[in-house]
Structure 1
Amino acid sequence: MIVQWMEDRQISLYLAGLAIGALIGLLAPALAGPAAAVILPVLALLLYTTFLAIPFDRIGQAFRDWRFLATILGVNFVVVPMVVWLLSRIVADDQVLLVGVLFVLLTPCIDYVIVFTGLVGGDEERLLAATPLLMLAQMLLLPLYLWLFVGAEFVSAVEFAPFLEAFVLIIVLPLAAAALTQAAAHRTRAGRVVEQVGSSAMVPLMVITLAVVVAAQVADVGAQLGSLLRVVPVFLLFAAVMVPIGMAAGRLGGVDPAGRRAVVFSGATRNSLVVLPLVLALPAEFDLAASVVVTQTLIELLVMVALIVLIPRLIPKPAQP
């Protein structure tokens, strides 16, 4: 009963999570450090509960859908770089802002995008199957894009190891744990209980994740708001442009409505929580770039909550015969 109540009111609960996180971060900025420290563990738990709802025996079929995979890779690594280059001209005169924009907008999300896709009835199975390809492609192509857009000297100062670490912590381990839980649920009562509890925890974990992320970041953004205002239109325009592009790409690729919803969310959401450690490891003169990434996260979370309402209307499922 409580689980159904939360699912019926999930949008309101997510907005409440964002508001609570903002209040905590602004009224008690000393808690930003502890909040930041638990982002990855909380996100890993959220992804674990998401993966529990995915039937692993159908993942193999998702890997064979090359039409969907080609569409989602084309959107993220052919179309998005062109869009990002154009939008980044807004801040091209400031290298620090430019670097922050490029890092976050050139890397497609691999974590909570799966959750948001599932919430709108998108094809989270095929999106999960695409995740290793999305991660590998961005690890290989981000240095190339940065070299093209910023220069070779800058690329040599970037440490890319956190990419692999984050992929293991928030995708590989939760995915393996969910697969083991599903296997145990077929054999033991204890396994079934764990699976049921985990599946029912997705909404509260999403609320906690949103609150923790915002609490960890909102004070830093507020302290540098004057400098960061220039990137706000870049991120809003990116989301506004990528939604129709994702819809059109899905249609051109012959992808079904559930798959098109997944393409839209993949094109519009970015890998901010994973690239943030890379940006934090840059030389001191790029300190503001980390706040640029954080600003994108805060804007994106609000956009994603709005898209949960809009996408089912923009991409309706076929009427049942």
Structure 2
Amino acid sequence: MQIRFLVPGNVRHGSGGNKYNAKLAEHLTALGADVETVIVDGDWPVGSHTDRQRFADMLDGGTTVIADGLVASGAPDEISGAINAGTQVWILSHMALADHPDLEAKALAAATGIICPSAHAAAELETRHGTQRMVIAAPGADKANLAEGSQPQHIVAVAALLPNKSQLELVECLATLQDVEWSAALIGSENADARYAAEVRAAVEHYGLENRIKVTGELTGPTIEAQWHKADLSVLLSRSESFGMVVTESLAHGVPVLVRQGTGAVEALGHTEAGAALDLTQEGALTDSLKRWLTDPTLQELWRSNALRAREHLQGWDTTAATVLKALATPDAG
């Protein structure tokens, strides 16, 4: 099968969506598909008339297209035109658009089908736009070396520094726990929202935590693996999250995770009990949970053993790709 995979050119940091797209393309290829990944420049999610025309040109050819929702959800007319010309257009919706719901609704309705990375993301689209033909293809997790942990306990928060990811909330919480030993690293791009990143750095300095909290920037390869190697706990406090691939990445390293209730990260954590999903509408919930974990070796060992057990049952990216390939081959099923 020939697949043209259209991805946005205006997301330049290591987002979960970008990582998902790259892994999906890699493993579709491994399953025998002929995948052409095309970066679509433009001011997405809507773009200019010229941007949308460029997108429309890439839909031409009567082939099968997977288009990232950040590009496709603002261009319903272009999708309709392509489908009428014989092109299958699947929208890979990592997360519903914050703005432009009318355009998104029309684009999803026009598409051949919709690929979602989680049941949480699919349910959100259904709530907003009604029943659609959706296929859930949860992210896989790569095999990873087992974390060794640290003394004192080392906490990692792996996400771009963005308001939605709530690193400020974590810094303010850790500032109240200075009587307990720990170290922490905030690992993620500072370029996605430079103002927020500066606020996070300023908070670390304000609380005098420069020697305990490292703001590392985006790390890849051996440098991120070195952080996972010494990690004891991973924290993902996103206010909205379609899945949260860092959760399964954590579990792949045998590292338990704290996530926020009401997000797709709860789905990623599943029923592993390798950490907890916190109701952060309750005052002090994060502080209480972190202090309990930091001061209770029995809880540390329980979460760690549950993470090791979960590590053995993580889905691979080959399963993700097989789910997508099956859907593309049977567009009228379901």
TM-score (norm 1): 0.24
Instruction: Give the structure, 1 or 2, with the largest relative contact order (CA under 8 Å, sep 6 or more).
Output: 1
Higher helix content, 1 or 2: 1
TM-score (norm 2): 0.23
Higher strand content, 1 or 2: 2
Larger radius of gyration: 2
